[in-house]
Structure 1
Amino acid sequence: MADWPAEQPTGRTDSIVRRQRGRTALASLAAAVLVTAAATGCGGPFQDLGPLPPRFSGPPLPADAVVSEMTSVLAAEGITVARQPSEVLGRCTERLTGRHAPGTVDSALRAAVERARSEHGWQAGPDLGNGALTLTKGNWTALTALPSPDPEQQTESLVVMSLTCLDGGSPTATTSPTPVPTSS
């Protein structure tokens, strides 16, 4: 068995510990300098680009006009729908539901969306992937999902079109401000 010294001289141990602490402090200081340089030196000052553009242009479209327009577009393609309105704070939503023959529902919905674009000025909405068709016009967004094909389906396919609007930023229901208690 090797003979290890029971203790090393105090001066040598202290100098090793001091060197390690010095390296750690130097590394920490270098890291702090790099982080500060990255945070301030790499990014330029923010440029004021002015107010954000409006979410939609033109006056807000009334719900009755949009529902009537979409109902007629769907009816032109043989899809009869009924209106189911609902109100959510700050948003208005409408829902059109109906049924159509399962073999032609896909092509009828695609034709209705194309008719809304060409005859009524609706624009293509955000792409939500396969099976969803979206349109936008003014403050309204229309969304419908293509029913999944089922060759054995004997009954008519359910057609749902959701219409959502932004009321120009003003909520439909107003709340009164809560009084702030004051200390006397």
Structure 2
Amino acid sequence: MRQRQRRAALAPLVMAALVTAAATACAPPLRDLGPLPPRFTGPPLTADTVVSEMTSVLAAEGVTVKREPSGVLGRCMERLSGRHEPHTVEAAVKAAVARARSEHGWQAGPDTGSETITLKKSNWTVLVGFNGEPAQGIQAPVIVSLMCLDGGASTAPATPTGPAFTPVPAAS
């Protein structure tokens, strides 16, 4: 009876060893490909800098937008919104995107479809969407979403609300 229990206990260990040996023998050796590329290039930009750039390029094309309060603590998101004449809104926004690329160094972002334009710069991604035709007599909405990877905190850093951390010295 004990011998049967020992065999039952050894079986999973033997199987694990065999699977590990087979996987190691069949897998190609890992090559060191060097460090991973950075998630973004250039120094991180602040939210205020990005909002200012995007507001100015849109204003240069006649599109007036206002910065909305973020409202999401600990996240790197901003939103600009405004309204523009419906028959020229798409051309004005596309001209503003071209101006952002040529004058401010923004790059084309990933293609997300015909209804949006995406731009990238440093740690920020800007998404501009085109809504359908607005109702007769109403100006077309313009919404620009700005998102950062990390390091794009606004100029006013958040103050900690909890007690300060005091490390305890290790016992000798």
Compute the TM-score of the two structures, normalised by the length of structure 1.
0.66
| Superposed counterparts of 1:22-171, under 5 Å | 39=23, 43-86=27-70, 88=72, 91-149=75-133, 153-168=136-151
Deviation at 1:173, TM superposition (A): 8.2
Q: Structure 1: which amino acid aligns with 2:142?
A: V
- Structure 1 residues 173 and 92, CA, compared in 2 at 3 Å: closer, same or farther? farther
SS at 1:86 equivalent: coil
RMSD between superposed Cα atoms in Å: 2.9
Deviation of 1:83 after TM superposition, in Å, equals 0.3
Query: In 2, Cα distance between the equivalents of 1:96 and 1:169?
Result: 16
Q: Is the 8 A contact 2:46 2:151 kept in 1?
A: no
Q: How high is the sequence identity, in percent, across the aligned residues?
A: 62
Partner secondary structure for residue 106 of structure 1: helix
Larger radius of gyration: 1
Instruction: Measure, in 2, the Cα distance between the counterparts of 1:161 and 1:43.
Output: 47
Using CA pairs below 8 Å that are at least 6 residues apart, which structure has the higher relative contact order? 2
> d(CA) in 2 for partners of 1:84 and 1:169?
17
Range moving further from structure 2, 105-114 or 88-97: 88-97
Q: Once the 2 structures are TM-superposed, how far is the Cα of residue 41 of structure 1 from its aligned partner?
A: 5.7
Q: SS state of the match for residue 48, structure 1?
A: coil
Distance 1:155 1:144 in 2: 20
Moved over 3 A (4+): 39-43, 87-91, 172-177
**Contact residue 85 and residue 93 of structure 1 kept, 8 A:** no
Cα distance 1:45–1:85, how it changes in 2: closer, same or farther (>3 A)?
farther
2:16 aligned residue: none
Looking at structure 2, the residues matched to 77 and 120 of structure 1 have their Cα atoms a distance apart, in angstroms, of: 15
Using the alignment, how far apart are the partners of 1:138 and 1:94 within structure 2? 16
Going from structure 1 to structure 2, the CA distance change for 1:78 and 1:165 (only over 3 Å counts) comes to same
Alpha-carbon separation, structure 2, partners of 1:85 and 1:52: 35
Amino acid aligned to 2:57? V
